[in-house]
Amino acid sequence: MKQLKVIIFCFLSSLCATGQNLAYMPGEKVDYTIHYGVLQGGVASLEIRSDTFGGKQVYHSVFLGKTTGLADVIFRVKDIYESYIDPVTQLPVFSIRNIQEGRYRRYNEVIFDHHSRADSAILTSNLTGVHITEQGIHDIISCFYYFRSHHLPRYQSLKKGDMITIMTWFTDELYPIRLRYLGTEEIRTKLGRIKCFKFNPVTEKGRLFKTEDDVSFWFTADKNFLPVKVRFDIFVGSFIAEIAACEGLKYPLEIRKKE
């Protein structure tokens, strides 16, 4: 279950790079629908805005995902993830994970210190205390903004099968995000047909997934590199999260054909 949540929220997340060449800007907001077959079971939104933390200017990204309709009656979910990102270093300085799933509740804050030690980062969790990790560690939201602005602009050097790995801190553990490039594909969305880069995050075979390739992400093949769709195949069937609306994009969204 943890890995499935990582995949969903990683997709509905995204973040920064060099301060000068970001694929996004404060004010960007994307809305998604989540459905199983023809049944819609949830909605999500991801936005980023200017804010302050510790008296310094930061980017503040908020992801909200929740169930709707019958799914909300059967098993209510309302998950909120927040990331405060230093626009200069591209790294998170503070993150919040606020989970409500049925009767389960979990609230976790993590402070990221990337400066006190030259060879590592210091993470302080309200639940598990102090952890020493490698330099350049991301949270689950910031890693995908970084992916959009740092890795995807280099798409011309990517070859099918290439793997991109970003180390993150998730649920108070080190969690590597590994994305395998599969090439380009034109997909159909509610906004129209969009040319995208396709990636498979490597998944662990077991309770949820049959193979390592049971999840697919699609990012727009324009300057936004916006995540527009994810499909995840688990033992009970296929779920799809796809873009429903967006605003505040840094560049016009390149829609190849209106539906």
Mean pLDDT of 149-163: 94
Instruction: Specify if 105 maps to a domain.
Output: yes
Cβ contact 141:81 at 8 Å: yes
User: Residue 1 has what pLDDT?
Assistant: 52
Find the CATH number of the domain harbouring 230: 2.40.360
Average pLDDT, the chain: 87
Q: Which domain holds residue 29?
A: 2-247
- Among 18-22, 60-64, 67-71, 189-193, name the one with the lowest average pLDDT: 18-22
pLDDT band at 208 (very low <50, low <70, confident <90, very high): very low
Q: Within a domain: residue 255?
A: no
pLDDT digits (tens, 9 = 90+) for 77-119: 999 999 999 998 889 999 999 999 999 999 999 999 999 999 9
For residue 184, pLDDT beyond 80: yes
* The residue to which tokens 């009656």 are assigned: 73
Which of the pair, 232 or 240, is modelled with greater confidence? Answer: 240
Q: How many domains does the chain have?
A: 1
What average pLDDT score do residues 231-239 get?
A: 65
pLDDT at 89: 87
Tell me, yes or no, whether 120 lies in a domain.
yes
pLDDT > 70? residue 211 = no
Shortest CA distance to 10 belongs to which of 50, 63, 48? 63
**pLDDT of 191 over the 70 cut:** yes
The verdict on residue 152 lying in a domain is yes
In a domain, 252, yes or no: no
Per-residue model confidence (pLDDT) at position 226: 96
Which tops the pLDDT comparison, 196 or 5?
Answer: 196
Over residues 175-190, mean pLDDT: 93
Q: Does 254 map to a domain?
A: no
pLDDT tens per residue, range 13-33 = 443 333 458 999 999 999 999
Distance CA 238, CA 258 (A): 26
- In angstroms, what CA-CA distances link 83 with 51, 71, 90, 139, 221? 11, 27, 12, 7, 25
Nearest to 42 by CA among 14, 19, 9: 9
CA 144 to chain centroid: 5
* Residue at 257 is within a domain: no
Residue 137 counted as domain residue: yes
Kindly provide the b/e burial profile for residues 20-31, where b requires at least 16 CB atoms within 10 angstroms of the residue's own CB: eebbbebebebb
Query: Residue 6: pLDDT above 50?
Result: no
User: Which pair of structure tokens corresponds to residue 178?
Assistant: 């590994």
Q: CA-CA distances (angstroms) from residue 206 to 114, 116, 140, 230? A: 35, 39, 22, 20
